[in-house]
Amino acid sequence: MVKQPNLSRRAFLTSTLIGAGLVVPASVSAQTLLADLRGSLDVSRLDVRPGALDNQSLAFQNAINRAANDGQPLFMPAGDYLVSNIDLPSGITIIGVPGRTRIRYAGDGHLMFGTDVHDVRLEGLVLDGNNRPLADYAPALLHISTGTNIAVEDCTVQGSLKDGVTFDRVAGRIERSTLSGILGAAFQSNDARGLAIRDNVVTDCSDNGILVFRWSQGRDGTIITGNRIERIRAVSGGTGPYGNGINVFRADDVIISGNTIDDCDFSAVRCNSASNVQMVGNTCTRSGEVAMFAEFGFQGAIVANNVIDGAANGISIANFIDGGRMAIVQGNILRNLQGSSRLPTDQARYGTGIAVEADTTVSNNTIENAATNGISAGWGPYLRNVIVSQNLVRRTPIGVMVSVVDGVGPSVVRDNMFDETPDGAVVGMRWWDRATGDLTKQRNVPESLVIEGNRLVA
């Protein structure tokens, strides 16, 4: 028996065409044949030459316009394409060979821009900013201003001196793409209209990884899931607007789930004035400040089932003074809260596992090796309706710090387990000053507190 050769699909298609009597010129690659079979227009047949050293902006724009007018995808074979000031019309689909079709910015303006566009899809492209300056009007290598059904898939975005990709008022998705070596944010969304950011790799950016922003607080609904984010710096400085893996500002109803976020100068996830946000099932390591933050004027946050290893502080539900309230902090593992921030900030101390202030339950969390304390309930007079229940806190000087200054609201510390908390399991505090002994061992506790059923192991 003669063993049949194991032909790839591409080789099979090529051999089939030749066998059918079609002459295939040597200059036509299997990529082009496949593009023809898919009904695509090939840019190499429209005066756009892969690997050419000259600027091909005019020819490329003409090819894009023709493909959009004809309702056909535009296929770009592997190679480098030096272009600038490309405008994306509605209905355009541009498909390349992932990692090998490189659209390189030639300078003097923008790379790709679309305004009031619909049904735009970019797939398998490398958008390379060449570390060349963008014009003042261009916020990113790829900028879409108002659009629906916008899709960026399996692309690479790199070498931008501003942001990588910016969407303004866009409904669509960016997925399975790699964004790296970017001076601003890898991806910024402003006033999203239904956006999914999923399964991307974001690395080595100077200001933020993923930024979801609204000009005024309101419903956003962006879903951020399955992304891997690493090494995000805070080159522009400040005490929190930069240096975050995922940064949500004024955007309500955002879901942040299943992301792996490592080595950010400030927070892995930072949500400022963002109500009804969910931070669920993320893994965050080596955060330079607070690993997960819900702060300022928010109402409603769920922080659940996350793993946090290595941060200045673990989870902070803060700023009751500015209206920040209502949260569930549940089922998280926090360890190795080292008590110092990577960059200077105005906060005096770190090393807290979970800090909360108002209308919040803290339950079923495991906290180990926090430099200062496991759980902090309240800050000065800012404490109301906090329940701390069924948590395990071990190897930290104080298990729970609870504010006992005049004017605090009610709180409950019940059914927790404390192991190796040498300075007290539950201690009343006046800001950073210790005001009581271990309240689990005292009959007289402040009237605002209920402390019962806690277990001290050592």
Give strand pairing partners of 368. 335, 394
pLDDT reading at 59 higher than 60 = yes
Q: What is the mean pLDDT of residues 179-186?
A: 98
pLDDT tens per residue, range 237-253: 888 899 999 999 999 99
Distances (CA, A) of 31 to 35, 37, 59, 97, 391: 6, 10, 20, 9, 58
pLDDT score at 346: 66
* Residue 366, strand partner residues: 333, 392
Quote the pLDDT of residue 239: 85
What residues contact 346, with CB distance under 8 A and at least 6 apart?
A: 239
Residue 15: predicted pLDDT: 40
pLDDT at 7 over 70: no
pLDDT band at 25 (very low <50, low <70, confident <90, very high): very low
Average pLDDT in the 198-222 region?
Answer: 97
Over range 93-109, report the average pLDDT. Answer: 97
Q: Worst-scoring range by mean pLDDT, 35-39, 60-64, 171-175, 215-219? A: 35-39
pLDDT at 228 over 60: yes
Q: Is the dihedral of CA 401, 406, 407, 410 positive or negative?
A: positive
The residue with greater pLDDT, 168 or 19, is: 168
Do residues 446 and 410 touch, judged by C-beta distance below 8 A? no
- The arithmetic mean of pLDDT across residues 19-23, rounded, is 39
Considering the chain, what is the average pLDDT of its residues? 92
pLDDT of 348 reads 62
Average pLDDT over residues 50-65: 97
Q: How many residues does this entry show for the chain?
A: 458
Task: Scan for tokens 């894009």, then name that residue.
Answer: 64
Whether residue 455 is predicted with pLDDT greater than 70 in this model: the reply is yes
* Lowest mean pLDDT across 110-124, 212-226, 343-357: 343-357
Taking only the tens place, the pLDDT of each residue in 370-427 is 999 999 999 999 999 999 999 999 999 999 999 999 999 999 999 999 999 999 999 9
Average pLDDT over every residue of 34-59: 85
Cα–chain center distance at 139 = 19
Task: Provide CB contacts within 8 A for 5, sequence distance 6+.
Answer: none
**Bridge partner list, 400:** 375, 426
pLDDT of residue 29 exceeding 90 = no
Q: What pLDDT score does 23 carry?
A: 39
Q: Is the per-residue pLDDT at 192 higher than 60?
A: yes
Domains and CATH numbers, the chain: 103-456 (2.160.20)
Binned at pLDDT 50, 70 and 90, residue 340 comes out as: confident
Above 60 in pLDDT, residue 27? no
Non-local CB neighbours of 159 within 8 Å, separated by 6+ positions = 105, 128, 129, 130, 131, 181, 182
Q: Of 186, 47, 51, whose CA–CA distance to 129 is shortest?
A: 186
Q: What is the mean pLDDT of residues 289-318?
A: 96
Does the structure show a pLDDT above 80 at 323?
Answer: yes
% of the chain exceeding 70 in pLDDT: 90
Stated pTM of the model: 0.90
> Looking at the predicted structure, is the pLDDT value of residue 9 above 50?
no
pLDDT at residue 31 in the model = 52
